[in-house]
């Protein structure tokens, strides 16, 4: 999946770059994020390829704004992408990369502080999504089979975001509990399994080495 296709999907209705940024921040942050420095160059490339067209319109709030819309070729490319099957690209999580190497600090209390801060951020994010869910169900009811076609599919992604982030909060609790048990170990007691300097797979609990790759858990868009 690419930002180009996300923009094509969002531009089924004409919009300016500022409008698109608001959608990223307020409606689809549970699966994608983009900054102005990414949005505008991508819009320009899509227009150069003939997948978008733009026009300048007056704005009531300031300078004129450039509004983008799909061309016939752009709609064809969007439909091709949607019909190509699930896009299962690798996901990246910066906070997991940090945690992977956290032993370099040499202090489990630092790891605990890190996980506590991460849990707080995830809970705040989860709260925002749950507020959106509550507003939608209050307005339209909880029977999603009666939603509009667009609303039905959009609500499905919202639910995935809520469940995914909720599972990460549970993982934070699990990890924090494990940290506390590790901190409580008597002095001189060592773990039986080690990760080898960040290279390769972790050893199995018996120290034999399973050779199993530890990948990122699935969930929100990379930080």
Residue 15's pLDDT band (cuts 50, 70, 90): very high
Output the six-digit token pair for 17. Answer: 């770059």
- 32 pLDDT higher than 80: yes
- 80 pLDDT higher than 70: yes
Residue 193's pLDDT band (cuts 50, 70, 90): low
Report domain extents, the chain: 3-82, 94-183
Q: What is the CATH number of domain 3-82?
A: 1.10.10.10
- 220 pLDDT higher than 90: no
Q: Count CB neighbours of 171 within 10 A.
A: 16
Rounded to whole angstroms, the Cα distance separating 198 from 180 reads 23
The reported pLDDT for the residue numbered 24 is 93
pTM (global) more than 0.85: no
- 219 pLDDT higher than 50: no
pLDDT tens profile 133-180: 999 998 888 888 888 888 899 899 999 999 999 999 999 999 999 999
The reported pLDDT for the residue numbered 40 is 96
- Give every CB contact of residue 80 below 8 A, 6+ residues apart in sequence: none
Over residues 75-101, the mean pLDDT reads 89
Rounded to whole angstroms, the Cα distance separating 56 from 168 reads 44
Over residues 202-208, the mean pLDDT reads 43
């Amino acid at each position: 999946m690419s930002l180009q296709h996300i923009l094509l999907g969002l531009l089924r209705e004409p919009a300016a770059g500022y409008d698109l940024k608001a959608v990223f921040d307020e409606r689809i942050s549970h699966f994608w994020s983009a900054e102005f420095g990414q949005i505008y160059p991508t819009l320009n490339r899509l227009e150069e390829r003939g997948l978008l067209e733009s026009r300048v319109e007056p704005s009531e709030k300031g300078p004129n704004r450039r509004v983008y819309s799909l061309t016939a070729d752009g709609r064809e490319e969007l439909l091709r992408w949607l019909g190509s099957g699930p896009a299962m690209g690798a996901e990246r999580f910066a906070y997991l990369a940090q945690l992977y190497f956290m032993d370099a600090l040499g202090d489990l209390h630092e790891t605990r502080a890190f996980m506590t801060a991460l849990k707080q951020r995830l809970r705040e994010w989860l709260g925002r999504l749950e507020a959106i869910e509550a507003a939608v169900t209050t307005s339209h009811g909880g029977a999603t089979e009666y939603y509009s076609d667009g609303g039905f599919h959009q609500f499905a992604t919202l639910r995935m975001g809520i469940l995914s982030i909720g599972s990460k909060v549970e993982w934070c609790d699990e990890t924090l509990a494990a940290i506390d048990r590790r901190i409580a170990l008597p002095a001189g007691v060592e773990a039986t399994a080690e990760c080898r300097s960040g290279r390769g797979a972790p050893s199995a609990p018996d120290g034999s080495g399973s050779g199993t790759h530890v990948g990122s858990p699935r969930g929100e868009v990379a930080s």
